[in-house]
């Protein structure tokens, strides 16, 4: 009976996460998969791509590609609140957000962003890379305004962006990623189904537990290696087979916020700009149960 109950709980978690739309991939790892017939039932009920990697840790990965062409302003303000709460991770950085194309054929050219409600509308300037600064506007918040772009759904991802000054192009500062994670979690927490939301809360949230592994997309394809570095300490990070993402557990007391992740790309990516292929992958989250 206990074994069957555990299978039911796992099955409900898989179904809940299947409708998640705030990130590219969400993977649950457990010591035991549900029976084959139950897993097939999951595949029939969800409209996402499901695959079982042949790895020692048995996992079910669910890929989602949905993202609306608008965001609730009140929800995005939660990202700003998280930035202020956890600003100590990156004290020299300023809060930003960024629109990231989901496909190689999607361009930022001509994209306009505005903060609009039934009563008012204002343009939010977009930088050439899709980044923008979100202003605090009490009137817009009270009017339940929305951030809207002049593009169809499923073309862009809405991400927080934290970049401390002085960090080289091929490096990411660990504290910046930790702060981005807190902003991301604040924005997308309410998007999670009830079961998945409770699961993430149980493990302490994705940013402050060793049970969550985050795979961050590098800016460009052709990633050869990623190394976490602080002083004499070096830790090699896993790079996916497509050479597009690097995986890390952000909760690691052995490395401070000032630790850097060194990203090494193919030589032609560095020396020949026309050889660069933009990385359009999203964030991958793995929860170890």
Are both 87 and 47 inside the same structural domain?
Answer: no
Under 8 Å between Cβ of 113 and 155: no
Alpha-carbon torsion 133, 188, 157, 167, what sign? positive
Q: How far apart are the C-alpha atoms of 196 and 174, rounded to whole Å?
A: 26
Residue 262 lies in a domain: no
Are residues 90 and 27 part of one domain? no
Last residue of a domain, one of 63, 94, 116: 63
**103 in any annotated domain:** yes
**Number of Cβ within a 10 Å radius of residue 68:** 15
Within-domain flag for 212: no
Crossing angle of the two packed helices 2-18 and 36-45, in degrees rounded to 10: 20
Please determine, for residue 196, whether its predicted confidence score (pLDDT) is greater than 90: no
By residue range, what is the domain housing residue 18?
2-63
Query: Whole-structure pTM over 0.85, yes or no?
Result: no
75 and 41 in a common domain = no
Three-state DSSP at 106 gives coil
Q: Decide if 110 is inside a domain.
A: yes
pLDDT in tens, 136-185: 999 999 999 999 999 988 899 999 999 999 999 899 999 999 999 999 99
On whether both 105 and 58 belong to a single domain, the answer is no
286 has a pLDDT exceeding 90: no
Answer whether residue 178 is part of any domain: no
Q: Are 15 and 90 found together in one domain? A: no
When pLDDT is cut at 50, 70 and 90, the band that residue 269 belongs to is confident
What is the count of structural domains for the chain?
Answer: 2
Residue 56 lies in a domain: yes
**CA gap 271, 289 in Å, rounded:** 43
Indicate whether 9 belongs to any domain: yes
Compute the distance between CA of residue 120 and CA of residue 145 in angstroms, rounded to an integer: 8
User: Do 87 and 127 lie in a common domain?
Assistant: yes
Strand ranges inside the chain, DSSP E: 25-30, 49-51, 58-63, 70-72, 96-101, 113-116, 121-124, 131-132, 146-149, 156-161, 171-173, 212-217, 223-230, 233-239, 245-248, 260-265, 284-288
- 55, 84: one domain: no
- pLDDT score of 14 more than 60: no
Q: Are residues 105 and 23 in the same domain?
A: no
Does some domain include residue 105?
A: yes
Which of 63, 86, 106 is a domain's end point? 63
211 DSSP β-pair partners:
none
> Tokens standing for 100?
């990231």
Contact present, 102 and 65 (Cβ < 8 Å): yes
Is pLDDT above 60 for 207? yes
User: Can you spell out the DSSP letters for 239-281?
Assistant: E-TTS-EEEE-S--TTS-TT-EEEEEE-HHHHH-GGG--B---
Phi/psi for 77 (5° steps) reads: -65, -25
Residue ending a domain, among 134, 161, 188, is: 161
Q: Are residues 78 and 148 in the same domain?
A: yes
Looking at the fold, whether 93 and 156 belong to one and the same domain comes out as yes
Higher pLDDT, 63 or 99: 99
CA gap 151, 149 in Å, rounded? 6
80 and 156 inside one domain? yes
- Mean pLDDT rounded to a whole number for the chain: 80
């Amino acid at each position: 009976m206990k074994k069957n109950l555990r299978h039911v709980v796992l099955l409900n978690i898989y179904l809940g996460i299947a409708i998640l739309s705030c990130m590219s991939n969400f993977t649950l790892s457990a010591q035991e998969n549900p029976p084959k017939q139950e897993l097939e039932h999951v595949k029939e009920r969800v409209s996402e791509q499901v695959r079982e990697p042949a790895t020692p840790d048995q996992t079910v990965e669910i890929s989602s590609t949905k993202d609306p062409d608008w965001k609730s302003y009140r929800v995005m303000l939660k990202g700003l609140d998280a930035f202020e709460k956890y600003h100590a991770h990156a004290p020299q950085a300023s809060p930003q957000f960024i629109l990231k194309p989901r496909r190689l054929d999607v361009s930022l050219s001509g994209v306009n962003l505005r903060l609009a409600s039934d009563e008012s509308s204002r343009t939010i300037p977009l930088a050439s890379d899709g980044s923008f600064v979100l202003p605090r506007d009490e009137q817009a918040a009270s009017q339940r305004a929305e951030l809207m772009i002049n593009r169809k759904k499923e073309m862009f991802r809405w991400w927080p962006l934290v970049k401390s000054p002085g960090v080289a192009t091929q490096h990411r500062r660990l504290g910046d990623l930790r702060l981005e994670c807190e902003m991301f979690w604040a924005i997308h927490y309410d998007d999670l189904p009830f079961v998945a939301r409770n699961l993430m809360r149980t493990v302490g949230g994705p940013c402050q537990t060793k049970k969550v592994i985050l795979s961050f997309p590098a800016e460009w394809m052709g990633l050869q290696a990623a190394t976490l570095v602080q002083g004499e300490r070096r830790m090699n990070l896993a790079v996916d087979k497509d050479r597009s993402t690097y995986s890390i557990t952000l909760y690691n007391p052995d490395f401070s916020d000032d630790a850097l992740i060194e990203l090494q790309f193919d030589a032609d990516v560095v020396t020949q700009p026309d050889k660069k292929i933009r990385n359009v992958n999203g964030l991958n989250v793995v929860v170890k149960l």
